[in-house]
Every structure is written in structure tokens, then in C-alpha cells.
């Protein structure tokens, strides 16, 4: 599920898919807009839906503002769907961006969106298990970049740090945490007593630079740089940071790490 968080409220496209799958019904807003044009569930579909989902996979990269277009005037964009005319989305409001701009015109750094998205899913769908299946920062590579520019991806490190911290807030939101985050036993306490969103895993997009469906090889998301001419792979600063982040937090939480490939 690709999920963009919208401020100040969630005009949430994922409800179009998750509500029928989990709740067995389309959102009320879709009934109001599309009426009888909505497809009906067959008896077979209803029976299949009773088994529910094992988990929800969430792909989340950025956030945007949304404006109502029913009771206020606006130009709703390209008209790519019948529902688009009811809301206008934009990364800016009154000339202020929702977050730090990046080299990609659609990606603004807004870590708070991660916490709000996960918390929203938790409350709407009875805290069904979640995996963050994609989250990361893409950068547009221009011709002949310097080696230092390729490897020292400080911007990606800060992005991951912010979004992981926001995710931790969603997971541990109901805790009365008295220990400072830098306390050596903070994460252990957090893992043992968490009562927030049931997030089972987090996956960075991506381990390596790769072919992006809409942008080809012009955008790079990898923790490792790939030279497409030679296929040489070079770890970026973010790869070392993420490795250390995982190792540090695994030790604090008492998670055993593999030794000589035997565990």
C-alpha cells in the first residue's frame, strides 16, 4: 500500500482499498461520491474477506497538504480520477513547504507523517500488524557527480534518522517513558512494554541503487551506490550509519545477532 500522509486531515486514498479488505465495506465518502457505480461484493468475496489480513504493508516516503474543493474554490489538478475534483493536494500551503524539499519534486522530508500514518492505521483497523515495507530518500543524480557527493549522503542519513524516530513514537506512543533516549536501557524498556502501533518490521528502500519504474536509473535510493557501467557497489555513509543503528539497538534490546552464520 503506497501511503502519503495528508495535512491537516487524511483524505486517505488507502481507505479505498483497506476498508473493503478489512472492514468489508467502502468508506462512506466513496458511497456519497460514486453511489451505485461502486462495485458490489459477491457472496464469494464476502466469505474471503472474513479471513482478514495477516498484516498491512505500508510504503511511505512523504506527506502533503490537502484542501477541500467541495466547499471552497480550488483547481483540483489533472482530473485523473472521478474523486480528484473533491480535494487538492500540494506540498505547500501559503507559500510554506510541508517539509524540507529534496531533489525530487514530489518528495518533501516530513518525518511526522510516518507517526501519524501508522497511528491512523492502528486506530482505524484495530491495530492490525504492520510492516513498513518501503521508506527512504531518493536523489536525482546529475552528470559526472564528485565521488564525495556520491558517497557522503548526509541528507539520507538525516532522513532515515527522522523517520525512524517518528516510527518509534508511533510504536511506543502509549508509554510513560521516564528514561532519556540516550539511556542505555531505554530501548530495552521500550521493546518490553510497548503498547502502541503493532509494527513488526521496517525496511529501507533500498539496499542498492536500482531501476525505478517511473524514472529509470536517474534516481538513486540505495544505501549502496551502483556504478551501472561496471556494476561496482560502494557503501554510502548511510549504509554504515544504518548498520551501526541496527547493531546498537539490537544490543540494547537483548536481540541475539548471528554468529558465524549459525544463528
Q: How far apart are CA 223 and CA 156, in angstroms?
A: 9
Q: Which of 29, 47, 134, 149 is flagged as catalytic?
A: 134
C-alpha grid cell, residue 236: 554510502
**What is the Cα 43 distance to its own chain's centre?**
34
* Of 137, 159, 139, 161, residue with least CA distance to 150: 139
> Which residue is it, cell 472521478?
82
* Of 97, 221, 111, residue with least CA distance to 162: 111
Length of the chain: 263
Q: How far apart are CA 103 and CA 182, in angstroms?
A: 32
- Decide: 12 and 118 in contact? Cβ < 8 Å: no
C-alpha grid cell, residue 18: 483497506
* Of 149, 150, 164, residue with least CA distance to 204: 164
Residue 66 burial class via C-beta count within 10 angstroms: exposed 0-12, middle 13-18, buried 19 and up:
buried
- Annotated catalytic residue 134: yes
State the first-to-last Cα distance of the chain, in angstroms, to the nearest integer. Answer: 32
Residues forming the active site = 134
Amino acid at each position: 500500500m503506497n501511503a502519503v500522509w495528508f495535512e491537516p486531515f487524511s483524505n486517505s486514498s488507502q481507505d479505498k482499498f483497506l476498508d473493503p479488505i478489512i472492514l468489508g465495506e467502502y468508506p462512506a465518502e466513496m458511497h456519497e461520491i460514486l453511489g451505485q457505480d461502486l462495485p458490489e461484493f459477491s457472496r464469494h468475496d464476502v466469505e474471503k474477506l472474513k479471513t482478514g489480513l495477516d498484516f498491512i504493508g505500508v510504503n511511505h516516503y512523504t506527506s502533503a497538504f490537502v484542501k477541500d474543493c467541495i466547499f471552497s474554490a480550488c483547481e483540483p489538478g489533472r482530473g485523473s480520477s472521478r474523486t480528484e475534483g473533491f480535494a487538492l493536494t500540494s506540498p505547500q500551503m501559503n507559500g510554506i513547504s510541508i517539509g524540507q524539499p529534496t531533489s525530487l519534486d514530489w518528495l518533501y522530508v516530513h518525518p511526522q507523517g510516518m507517526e501519524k500514518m501508522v497511528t491512523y492505521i492502528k486506530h482505524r483497523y484495530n491495530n492490525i500488524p504492520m510492516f513498513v515495507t518501503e521508506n527512504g530518500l531518493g536523489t536525482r543524480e546529475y552528470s559526472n557527480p564528485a565521488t564525495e557527493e556520491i558517497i557522503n549522503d548526509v541528507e539520507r542519513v538525516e532522513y532515515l534518522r527522522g523517520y525512524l524516530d517518528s516510527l518509534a513514537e508511533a510504536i511506543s506512543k502509549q508509554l510513560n517513558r521516564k528514561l532519556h533516549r540516550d539511556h542505555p536501557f531505554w530501548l530495552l524498556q521500550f521493546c518490553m512494554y510497548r503498547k502502541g502501533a503493532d509494527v513488526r518490521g521496517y525496511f529501507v528502500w533500498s539496499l542498492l541503487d536500482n531501476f525505478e519504474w517511473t524514472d529509470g536509473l536517474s534516481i538513486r535510493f540505495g544505501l549502496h551506490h551502483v556504478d551501472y557501467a561496471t556494476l561496482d557497489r560502494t557503501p554510502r555513509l548511510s549504509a554504515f550509519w544504518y548498520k551501526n543503528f541496527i547493531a546498537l539497538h539490537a544490543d540494547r534490546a537483548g536481540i541475539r545477532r548471528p554468529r558465524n552464520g549459525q544463528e
